[in-house]
Amino acid sequence: MQLTDPLSLSLHDADGIVSDLASIRQSYLTTTPLGQLRYGAVPAAEARKWLESCVRLELNSELATYPRITGFDTDGRGQNVSRMEHLVVRDLDLEPLVVDQTLQSDEEARPSPGRVVAFAEFQYHPHPHSSNEPGADDARPAQSSEQEDPASAKTKTKTEPPIDLPPSAHRALHEHWDKAVEAALSAQFGGMHCFEVRGIATLSPSHLRRGIASKLLCWIFPWADRLGVPVVLAATPPGYPFYLRHGFVEVDDGGPRTFVQCNMAEWGGEGVHRHVLMIRWPTTLSDQSAS
pTM surpassing 0.75? yes
Q: What is the pLDDT of residue 111?
A: 57
pLDDT band at 273 (very low <50, low <70, confident <90, very high): very high
| Residues in CB range of 58: below 8 A, 6 or more apart | 154, 155
Question: Is residue 151's pLDDT more than 50?
Answer: no
Dist CA 130 CA 134 (whole Å) = 12
Question: Is residue 154's pLDDT more than 50?
Answer: no
Peptide bond into 256 cis (omega under 30): no
Q: What is the pLDDT of residue 116?
A: 94
| Residues in CB range of 248: below 8 A, 6 or more apart | 231, 233, 235, 278, 279, 280
| Residues in CB range of 88: below 8 A, 6 or more apart | 6, 7, 9, 17, 20, 21, 116, 118, 119, 120
Strands (E) across the chain are located at 7-8, 83-91, 115-125, 194-202, 231-235, 249-250, 259-263, 272-280
Q: How far is CA 167 from CA 57, 79, 180, in A?
A: 19, 42, 22
Q: What is the pLDDT of residue 98?
A: 64
Q: What is the mean pLDDT of residues 147-157?
A: 41
pLDDT band at 207 (very low <50, low <70, confident <90, very high): confident
Dist CA 202 CA 169 (whole Å) = 23
Per residue in 115-148, pLDDT (tens digit) is: 999 999 999 999 887 655 544 444 445 444 454 5
Residue positions counted in the chain: 291
Return the bridge partners of 234, or none. 277
Per residue in 224-268, pLDDT (tens digit) is: 999 999 999 999 998 999 999 999 999 986 655 688 999 999 999
Give, in words, the CATH class of 7-95+113-127+166-280.
Answer: alpha beta
Question: Is residue 158's pLDDT more than 50?
Answer: no
Question: Is residue 67's pLDDT more than 50?
Answer: yes
